[in-house]
Amino acid sequence: MAGASELGTGPGAAGGDGDDSLYPIAVLIDELRNEDVQLRLNSIKKLSTIALALGVERTRSELLPFLTDTIYDEDEVLLALAEQLGNFTGLVGGPDFAHCLLPPLENLATVEETVVRDKAVESLRQISQEHTPVALEAYFVPLVKRLASGDWFTSRTSACGLFSVCYPRASNAVKAEIRQQFRSLCSDDTPMVRRAAASKLGEFAKVLELDSVKSGIVPLFTSLASDEQDSVRLLAVEACVSIAQLLSQDDLETLVMPTLRQAAEDKSWRVRYMVADRFSELQKAMGPKITLNDLIPAFQNLLKDCEAEVRAAAAHEVKELGENLPIEDRETIIMNQILPYIKELVSDTNQHVKSALASVIMGLSTILGKENTIEHLLPLFLAQLKDECPEVRLNIISNLDCVNEVIGIRQLSQSLLPAIVELAEDAKWRVRLAIIEYMPLLAGQLGVEFFDEKLNSLCMAWLVDHVYAIREAATNNLMKLVQKFGTEWAQNTIVPKVLVMANDPNYLHRMTTLFCINALSEACGQEITTKQMLPIVLKMAGDQVANVRFNVAKSLQKIGPILDTNALQGEVKPVLQKLGQDEDMDVKYFAQEAISVVAQRLRKLDFPVKDSGEPSVPRADKNHFPRPTVPGEDMGKGPVYQLRGDTRDTLAQLEIAELVHFSQSTD
């Protein structure tokens, strides 16, 4: 590793002469030479500190030349350097000396790594604004010319991003040179350079005079849009939006539209995709007349394109296209020229196309009005609600409020709700699970009265579903509904129905009652939990199935922090102590855990707690699923039902565990 003293006339050499003030720069040089990339990176990030220590004059005369001569490093170090130099103007003496930062950034703008070049160009653009017009022509414009005429394509690609920042403040003679330089880059032999020029074409057009746009930029746009590389042609489409905003309707028709028509029918799907993706922007830039005559037919072709990516991009623009149409012709155009193609996309073979359409199609209802929505759009919504792709269904349900505003809740209940109910009762449990997950969203859009009338019974039915995953999701669903509709609604509507399940013959349903109480207690608050839920939990402590009893202990542990001191000491603690004497090992274990939690709660409330004196129970195996105990069974000799923790399908694991317990309890 080269030491600082090996740099000869560099700043480190002076450090060897005993000048302590140069020590920081000597340290920097040593760290920049270090083999450890992280050390070099850290030293670059400290450049501003070192520059402050050196002062503006020595930063200009020593630090910047050193950095300019040593730009051969790892990309992450160069990236940090390019970023630092963009904020260095104040450290070199202000705008009058901003040109001193150009040499190192010019070198960085020519390196091979794209992210470093881009960051260097970003810093150069930032520094260009701090140059005076005179300094700009004296220092910055020559830099751009050097980059634009460099031997390597890397420098020429970097130059493309600098024309637009120096052009507005240059003199007329220099402006002509800049335009000529940009023109030559647009016809460069290297595709990467043409791509860079195409990506900056629209930006450059915005700073040019209108005559220069017509005479210079439009021919370049036409040339780039017919380039042999599709990666260049698609970038020309992006530039089209900026160029179109600068021209009159007549100029657009004659100068731009022929090229745009060609792009919409390009042999490369990537170019057609770009047209579809930018369609609403093109529509706004082109104006209503060209939209009706040229863009609508092009949009129809994009909606039935042979590539799914293009159809999806076009489908995503349907709503915005409709909103941008002239109000007087909007309904007619959509009904006659767009809707027939939309109907075909509803049954498209590609799920991304259907999902993109489902995310925007509901918005058409506000444009088309009530009658058209009921007659033409509702059948499409119904078809998408029954689609096999969950994302399609979610996108429809997520936007029901748009339709609700137009056709009203009653009409909605007669049309879409039956389809939702049908899905909620589907034979495939994953379909039912998807609908449960959408239910809080749906409830919020439909309101509490409508929910109670149409969907409440459905939510309660899920609590006794034969699949555990459905019961679990239904429990979480109730908690979200209570958070949405409030505790009074829960007390009158949900809690009584949940508590009735405590007497269900099926022990799985009784356990679901406990799970619901766990979820609802926090949302409902202390009063409802103490008066309505706690008595049921305490009663279930005498259940004949061990699984229910140890879940009682877990529930009491869960709701303990919500209860007051009297309930904990007078009602909860005696029941837990009784469960601590249970003949089932797992019931004992969970009861002891709950007792310790309740004791901590009482201590926090400054309530005296006596030691229960119960012996500690060995910790249950976390991978062991508890089961009901058969009276008279020797726990040491009976079979052990155990499910390993590495089982992949958790839901299947839970189902098997329940079946095992059920078969044991009925022996």
Residues pairing with 111 in the sheet: none
Q: d(Cα 641, Cα 205) in Å, to the nearest integer?
A: 75
Q: What are phi and psi of 642, to 5 degrees?
A: -130, 135
Q: d(Cα 179, Cα 78) in Å, to the nearest integer?
A: 31
DSSP 3-36: -GGGGTTSHHHHHTTT-GGGHHHHHHHHHHH-S-
Greatest CA span in the chain, whole angstroms? 105
Q: d(Cα 529, Cα 538) in Å, to the nearest integer?
A: 12
User: What would you report as the CA-atom Rg of the chain, rounded to the nearest whole angstrom?
Assistant: 36
Q: d(Cα 409, Cα 422) in Å, to the nearest integer?
A: 18
The tokens 């019974």 sit on which residue? 457
Q: Does residue 3 carry a pLDDT above 50?
A: no
Amino acid residing at 108: L
**DSSP-based helix, strand, coil % in the chain, nearest 5:** 75, 0, 25
Quick one: pLDDT band at residue 20, thresholds 50, 70, 90? low
Q: What is the mean pLDDT of residues 446-452?
A: 80
Range with the lowest mean pLDDT among 199-208, 386-395, 631-640? 631-640
Q: Does residue 397 carry a pLDDT above 60?
A: yes
Residue 259: is it exposed, middle or buried by C-beta count within 10 angstroms (0-12/13-18/19+)? buried
The torsion region of residue 647 among left (phi > 0), alpha (psi -120 to 50) and beta comes to: beta
The tokens 């653009």 sit on which residue? 125
CA atoms within 13 A on the CB side of 135: 15
Q: d(Cα 311, Cα 295) in Å, to the nearest integer?
A: 15
| Helix, coil or strand: residue 514 | helix
Quick one: pLDDT band at residue 626, thresholds 50, 70, 90? very low
Q: Does residue 607 carry a pLDDT above 70?
A: no
CA atoms within 13 A on the CB side of 261: 13
More confident residue, 409 or 110: 110
Please choose, from the candidates 402, 354, 350, 349, the residue with its C-alpha nearest in 3D space to the C-alpha of residue 378.
402
Q: d(Cα 221, Cα 224) in Å, to the nearest integer?
A: 5
Q: d(Cα 450, Cα 454) in Å, to the nearest integer?
A: 6
**pLDDT digit string, tens, across residues 264-322:** 999 999 999 999 999 999 999 888 889 888 999 999 999 999 999 999 999 999 999 99
Token pair belonging to 76: 């992450």
The pLDDT assigned to 17 comes to: 45
Q: Does residue 647 carry a pLDDT above 70?
A: no
**pLDDT digit string, tens, across residues 462-482:** 888 888 898 888 888 888 888
Which CATH code, of 1.10.260.40, 3.40.710.10, 1.25.10.10, 1.10.287.70, is assigned to 486-605? 1.25.10.10
| Helix, coil or strand: residue 278 | coil
More confident residue, 509 or 32: 509
More confident residue, 135 or 30: 135
Contact 385, 396 (CB under 8 A): yes
Quick one: pLDDT band at residue 70, thresholds 50, 70, 90? low
Contact 556, 537 (CB under 8 A): yes
Q: d(Cα 643, Cα 651) in Å, to the nearest integer?
A: 12
Q: Does residue 413 carry a pLDDT above 80?
A: no
**pLDDT digit string, tens, across residues 478-531:** 888 888 888 888 888 888 888 888 888 888 889 999 999 988 888 888 888 888
Amino acid residing at 645: G
Quick one: pLDDT band at residue 642, thresholds 50, 70, 90? very low
Amino acid residing at 241: V
Contact 101, 89 (CB under 8 A): yes
Contact 635, 649 (CB under 8 A): no
Q: Does residue 198 carry a pLDDT above 90?
A: yes
Range with the lowest mean pLDDT among 256-260, 495-499, 631-635? 631-635
| Helix, coil or strand: residue 642 | strand
Q: Does residue 446 carry a pLDDT above 90?
A: no
Q: Which residues are within 8 A (CB) of 523 and not within 5 positions of it... i.e. 6 or more apart?
A: 479, 482, 483, 487, 490
Contact 557, 521 (CB under 8 A): no
Q: Count the residues in the chain.
A: 667
Q: d(Cα 381, Cα 396) in Å, to the nearest integer?
A: 7
Amino acid residing at 73: D
Please choose, from the candidates 354, 349, 376, 355, the residue with its C-alpha nearest in 3D space to the C-alpha of residue 365.
376
How many Cβ atoms from other residues are within 10 Å of residue 495's Cβ? 23
Q: d(Cα 473, Cα 520) in Å, to the nearest integer?
A: 13
Quick one: pLDDT band at residue 659, thresholds 50, 70, 90? very low
Question: Distance between the two ends of the chain, CA-based, in angstroms?
Answer: 80
pTM over 0.75: no
DSSP state of 306: S
User: Could you give the percent of the chain with pLDDT greater than 90?
Assistant: 18
Q: Does residue 650 carry a pLDDT above 80?
A: no
Amino acid residing at 328: E
The pLDDT assigned to 80 comes to: 84
Angle at 159 between CA 156 and CA 164, to 5 degrees: 145
